[in-house]
Structures are given as structure tokens and as C-alpha cells.
Amino acid sequence: MLAANAPPCGGNVRGFSRESGRRWYGRVNQAYGNQSNCTIIFCEECYMRAVSGKPYAHIFSQDITNYAFTTAGADGLVYCNTYTNRARGMVHQCAETGDLISFARWWNMREELRKKKDSWKPIIEMQLQKQKLADAKKLAQVRVKLNAQQNAMARMGAAGVAELAGGDTGWRYGNSQ
């Protein structure tokens, strides 16, 4: 029974290489910029859960495994686009109703927002590195200050011990008598 199930979805966290033997399904927008169509790539599990057996399953039933790997990112890995319940739900709804235009508009807006979000990642990473360096510098300064304070306290303690060890001659000077 386990062999009949599709391999589990890796979501947006775990990508797969061509060597994994994974199959990828979806559709490819042939007319770039056409907002009434979209390109969507999803794994076998998401295909089985959201599309398979639905009245309009043909909308998303293209085996686009080769396309997925030729358009993979710089790391050469393919990630499932429908890793959220919301995305799978929208694919499921489209496969039930056949309303590709509404789905495509929603999907294209989602992809546009994802690209905007991803464009901020390098900037955020750079800021995080700057903050880590500043934190490390501040920590080093605090350690130096703490070390200096400990040294001063140790010297004061040593001076007090030396003074006590010297004893009291009993002679007082100035107005202390």
C-alpha cells in the first residue's frame, strides 16, 4: 500500500534534483505575460491530493518534469509550488470548476508577490550580517571593560591586604588624633 502513495511533498524547504526520479506536473504558460494563463509546477503528492480524478484535471495534468528541471534555480533543485494548504485548495477548486482564468490571475499575483519578497532576501541577509558584526564588537567591548573592572578590583583588594599586612604603628598624623 505504501508503494501506491506518491513520494511526500518537499514543500518550499526541500528541493529535488533530477536524480531523485521525481515527477512534476502542472501547466506551462506559453504566452509570457498573459495574465489569463499561468505556469505552475507541483509534485506528485500535491497532484494526487488536489487534481487527480477531478472533472477538469486535464488543466494541470501535463507531465512537465523536463521543463521543471530546465527552469530550476541556480541550485538545480525543483521545489513544489503548491506547498501550502491555500495553494492546494485553489488548485483543487480550479480542477473542480475549470475556472482557469480566475486561478491564473490569483496565481500570477501570488508569484509576483513572492518575487518581490525574494528580492528583499539578500538585503535582509546583509543587514543581519552587519548586525551580527556590531553585536560581536559590542560584546568584545563589554568583555574588555569587565576585564578592566575585575583587574581594578583585584588591585584594590591587593592594596588593602598589603596595607593590613603592614600593621599599625600607632602614630597618627594630621588632625586624626
Over residues 51-79, the pLDDT tens digits come to 999 999 999 999 999 999 998 878 889 99
Confidence of residue 172 (pLDDT cuts 50, 70, 90): low
Tell me the chain's radius of gyration from C-alpha atoms. Answer: 34
Most confident of 2-6, 30-34, 88-92, 140-144: 88-92
Q: Residue 94 class from Cβ within 10 Å (0-12 exposed, 13-18 middle, 19+ buried)?
A: buried
Q: Is the dihedral of CA 38, 39, 41, 47 positive or negative?
A: positive
1 pLDDT above the threshold of 50: no
96 pLDDT above the threshold of 50: yes
Q: What is the pLDDT of residue 173?
A: 67
CA distance 55 to 175: 107
User: Taking a C-beta distance cutoff of 8 angstroms, is the pair 35, 105 a contact?
Assistant: yes
Question: Which contiguous run of DSSP H or E holds residue 63?
Answer: strand 62-63
User: Taking a C-beta distance cutoff of 8 angstroms, is the pair 87, 51 a contact?
Assistant: no
Over residues 100-138, the pLDDT tens digits come to 999 999 999 999 998 999 899 999 999 999 999 999 999
Residue 35 DSSP label: T
Q: What is the mean pLDDT of residues 144-153?
A: 87
